[in-house]
Structure 1
Amino acid sequence: MNYRHGFHAGNFADLAKHAAMLTLLRLLRNNEKPLLVVDTHAGAGYYDLSNPDFARSKEAEAGIKYLMGRDVPESLKPLADYVRAKNAKAGFKGQIGIYPGSPVLILDHQRAGDQYVGCELRDDDYRLLHDRIEPRGQAIKADGYKVALQTTEGDEDLLYLIDPPFEKPDDYKRITETVRDVLTLRADARFLIWLPLKDLETFDSWLRHMEREIGEMAPMVVAELRLRPLWNPMKMNGCALVTVNAPDDFAPLLTAICEDVVATFGEASGQARIRIL
């Protein structure tokens, strides 16, 4: 696979996903049980935005750097403040030189006693991930879908972040199977799933399978962030965030995040659609 998280680090979809993850972590801090977060496609931990391979796409310029150069919407302020503080600590005064990926972001917001497991199959990204999160978190060079099924036996709260590259034809199928199989073992497990929005046919087909497989097992919140009409399947016209077993007060907070991301980065025809299944 040629996909790397770093090519898209700090783009609008990253901001939506990470703002949602920060919100989930904040809500789950109220639970007494420790939390285990399993990141099935973790990437390298954080990203150097000056890397010419990553800078070529200019997605960070149109994403996090654009956001930080304007008035930040309320729902995105926790993420913006965190990214700003992370850069200042790394020596970037008044500029964005690095973007923290989900492994570092999650570890920086966990409580004592919480745990993080990040799975990554690429050799180069795995080595970076290991060096950047151990010993605070655990890096595993393994198939994240399989690891998810191996982490259900404890009594801690479980949150799974599933954010695959979607370059393998079976990623949609494996997401559905993983969620179903984990819920069969742990009915209280929670999920945050990120998906690209290129055309409605692909997304709607996957969502139909999800409803059929787990519709009666757990509630789902489905958010579609459409930056533009979905008429060109060769472009990423938006993204979707799907949560399973999210806290009851999460949906309105996710709605605000999605509306603010679309208003900030979308075209005039952009729209945010949120529904509870």
Structure 2
Amino acid sequence: MQTIAKKLGLKYFGTKDEIEEQILNYLSLDDQYSTDHDMWRFNSEGIIQLICIDLKYVLDKFLNLGDLKELCSDLGLPISGSKIVLINRLNDSKKININDVLENLHDEDIEKLSEELKIDDSIDDASELIQEITKKINSRISPLTLNKKEANTTYGYKFDIAISYAGEQGVIAEKIATVLKKSNIKVFFDKYEKASLWGLDLATHLQKVYSEQAKFCIMLISNDYRKKAWPNHERAAAIERYINNKSDYILPILIDDDAWVDGIPKTISYFKWNETSPKEILDAVRLKLK
């Protein structure tokens, strides 16, 4: 932040809050974003991150991993997985709403949340604050939630679809990725991500993509896929997600009739590439995302 302040020609000495306030005033962020976002902060790279308070934000900020597991257990949901996996699972389950979470928070947490939402500070009663917080969060559509008619993007995930494949099936993968992208479906296809992947630890990054960041994983299963190191790494991450969520996360497309992979039950329904067109795959994906 000191570097940013210096580059903007501002004073860069003082506390973190003082420097942030200088930059905030300089950029007029309060006026620019107050109608669409609840707050802003600098991320670890010094870039301004806009924040909208919603159910996932509250779960992440005020509940630890143990709390989330207990909540999942109470709701009959699987309790395995990382914190972000549990948060996505709770959010997607539709079994819990913001009011349920607020009623189990400590009074001081409710007060912090009301300050972040700029709720009238004259309200002292915790139950009234909960009502006001619930009303404010439920009264608006999160700016992070896209219009499904325009984008078909599933809220809570960076990608609607992640495609896992061996290099030998790159042409097939690209045909699928192209038809999905043209329909405004957010797809992780490594050729589309060259710039964002540049310089990253691919083992760590791809683990997150295939276990946390995609709503579904299209897996192109071939004899080549079974033998290659990177497809095996992606497959392991996808299977971890499948086991944790007990859902239809993995969408197999069989390239070679005699190919299958360990960890995926043979009873799972699949498409055969030689019997399925990219358009048919697109139609099936659209149904999945509804």
Larger Rg over CA atoms? 2
Relative to the length of structure 1, the TM-score reads 0.24
- Hey, which of these two has a bigger chunk of helix by percent? 2
Relative to the length of structure 2, the TM-score reads 0.24
